[in-house]
Amino acid sequence: MNTPLWEVFVRARNGLAHKHVGSVHAADATMALQAARDVYTRRGEALSLWVVPSHAIVASDPADRESLFEPTGSKIYRHPTFYEVPDEVGHM
Amino acid sequence: MATTSIALDESPRIRTLLTLADDALILGHRLSEWTGHAPTLEEELALANIALDLIGQARALYQATGIDEDALAYLRDPHQFRNALAVELPNGDFAFTIVRLFLVSAASDAFWRGAVGADDPDIAAIAGKAEKETAYHVRHAADWLVRLGDGTAESHRRAQSALDALWPYTGELTASADRPAWLHAVGPVLQRATLTPPADGWMQSGGRQGRHTEHLGHLLAEMQVLPRTYPGATW
């Protein structure tokens, strides 16, 4: 079956970012949104939904993993762990 | 069958509640029969979600009668059910299921939107929830219908054939409602789906009076066998 694949993103609450939850097959964007609603929001998970054609996702090559991501391992000074975040800030 | 059926003394209010509830329960049961058989996983969940919405509406309506909801669902015989004949017909193919869901939901959608301000507080409360659910049922069925009708020659043929077969059963859906308004609601979708609605002619009826097709008895036999064979069973 050559039904197009769509990636599904759910935003659970105001102030959060849309989060990737999985994918659905659907013939077009309208039906993809309905399929995403029916498959991924059955337990009150969502305030907002995005669907994106899977072919529109540009992914990094697993073979590049070392050169892309390993260099950050030695740079602990980039982590914001040296000061306290006030509770009032909420989600960051 | 180990358990005898209940006898009902139907006041006009109980009759109204049963009419609404039986439509929802029987259509919900039919949709649940797609579980394990739907064309795609996504659509299987969609149909199961709609079935659960409808069974939830049925439960709320049965509870509003003050009679035990399980007795109403499991211990009535076919002639005691008040559902429209349209909802008890077998699922047929996917096109038939979608056309039926669309035609029935369009009628329920109009009813529930109007019932939000009903004098009966139970019906008004159920309507507040049901109108949102039913609005989605119409949308889902309409979107599929357009894609089936305006899809391939095969899907168009199946959708038109389902529409022709179901049309004589739609008289019952609008018997106590505004049929021109219903026609106005379904017309534009059928047009987008490149389907031709049959002319209104002789209409099937009898479901509201308990005169059903042979299909309801088979449906109830399957739905009721467990609680009738093992009264009070829990799991």
User: Across all residues in chain B, what is the average pLDDT?
Assistant: 96
The 3-class secondary structure across chain A, one letter per residue, is CCCCEEEEEEECCCCCCCEEEEEEECCCHHHHHHHHHHHHCCCCCCCEEEEEEHHHCCCCCHHHHHHHHHHHHHCHHHCCCCCCCCHHHCCC
For residue B1, the model assigns a pLDDT of 47
What average pLDDT does this structure show over B116-143?
Answer: 97
For residue B96, the model assigns a pLDDT of 98
For residue B4, the model assigns a pLDDT of 83
Stretch among A76-90, B18-32, B49-63, B84-98 having the lowest mean pLDDT: A76-90
Nearest chain B CA: its distance from A50 CA (Å) = 16
d(CA B3, CA A89): 62
B211-234 pLDDT, tens digit each: 999 999 999 999 999 999 999 888
Please give the backbone phi and psi of residue B120, each rounded to the nearest 5 degrees, phi first.
-70, 115
Chain A CB within 8 Å of residue B93 CB:
no
Angle between helices B41-64 and B12-32 (to 10 degrees): 160
Query: Which bin fits B36, alpha (ψ -120 to 50), beta or left (φ > 0)?
Result: left
B75-109 pLDDT, tens digit each: 999 999 999 999 999 999 999 999 999 999 999 99
Cβ <8 Å between B147 and A34: no
Cβ <8 Å between A38 and B147: no
What average pLDDT does this structure show over B40-64?
Answer: 97
Say if residue A83's pLDDT is above 80.
no
Cβ <8 Å between A35 and B46: yes
Which chain B residue has the Cα nearest residue A25? B42
Residues sharing a CB contact under 8 Å with residue B57, sequence separation 6 or more, in sequence order: B20, B21, B24, B126, B129, B130, B133
Q: Is residue B178, in this structure, part of any structural domain at all?
A: yes
For residue A92, the model assigns a pLDDT of 66
What average pLDDT does this structure show over B164-181?
Answer: 95
Cβ <8 Å between A38 and B143: no
A37-76 pLDDT, tens digit each: 999 999 988 899 999 999 999 999 999 999 998 888 888 8
CATH code, domain with A72: 3.10.20.520
User: Which of A2, A6, A23, A38 is the best substitution to test chain B (most B C-beta atoms within 10 A)?
Assistant: A38
Q: Is residue B44, in this structure, part of any structural domain at all?
A: yes
Chain A residues in contact with B45 by the CB 8 A cut-off are 38-39, 42
Q: Is residue B7, in this structure, part of any structural domain at all?
A: no
Q: Which residue has the higher pLDDT, B33 or B8?
A: B33
Chain B residues in contact with A27 by the CB 8 A cut-off are 147
Nearest chain A CA: its distance from B132 CA (Å) = 14
Question: Domain range spanning residue B76?
Answer: 12-196+206-229
Structural domain total, chain B: 1
Where does the pLDDT of residue A78 fall: very low under 50, low under 70, confident under 90, or very high at 90 and above? confident
Nearest 5°: CA angle at B22, between B18 and B24? 120
Q: Is residue B160, in this structure, part of any structural domain at all?
A: yes
> Which among A6, A8, A13 is positioned nearest to A45, based on CA atoms?
A13
Tokens of residue B158, six digits = 């199946």
What average pLDDT does this structure show over A71-85?
Answer: 80
A11-28 pLDDT, tens digit each: 998 889 999 999 999 999
Cβ <8 Å between B42 and A24: yes
Q: Is residue B46, in this structure, part of any structural domain at all?
A: yes
Tokens of residue B13, six digits = 């209010």
Structural domain total, chain A: 1
Where does the pLDDT of residue B2 fall: very low under 50, low under 70, confident under 90, or very high at 90 and above? low
Q: What percent of chain B has pLDDT over 70?
A: 99
For residue B111, the model assigns a pLDDT of 96
Chain A residues in contact with B147 by the CB 8 A cut-off are 27-28, 31
CATH code, domain with B24: 1.20.1260.10
Chain A CB within 8 Å of residue B42 CB:
yes
Q: Is residue B65, in this structure, part of any structural domain at all?
A: yes
For residue A1, the model assigns a pLDDT of 59
Which residues, numbered 48 to 87 in chain B, qualify as contacts with chain A under a Cβ-Cβ cut-off of 8 Å? 49
Q: Which residue has the higher pLDDT, B134 or B178?
A: B134
Chain A CB within 8 Å of residue B43 CB:
yes
Cβ <8 Å between A3 and B147: no
Which chain A residue has the Cα nearest residue B147? A27
Say if residue A81's pLDDT is above 90.
no
Question: Domain range spanning residue A72?
Answer: 5-89
* b/e sequence B120-150, b meaning 16+ C-beta within 10 Å: eebbeebbeebbebbebbbebbbbbbbbbbe
Q: How many cross-chain Cβ pairs, A to B, lie less than 8 Å apart?
A: 28
d(CA B22, CA B126): 15
> What is the reported pTM?
0.90
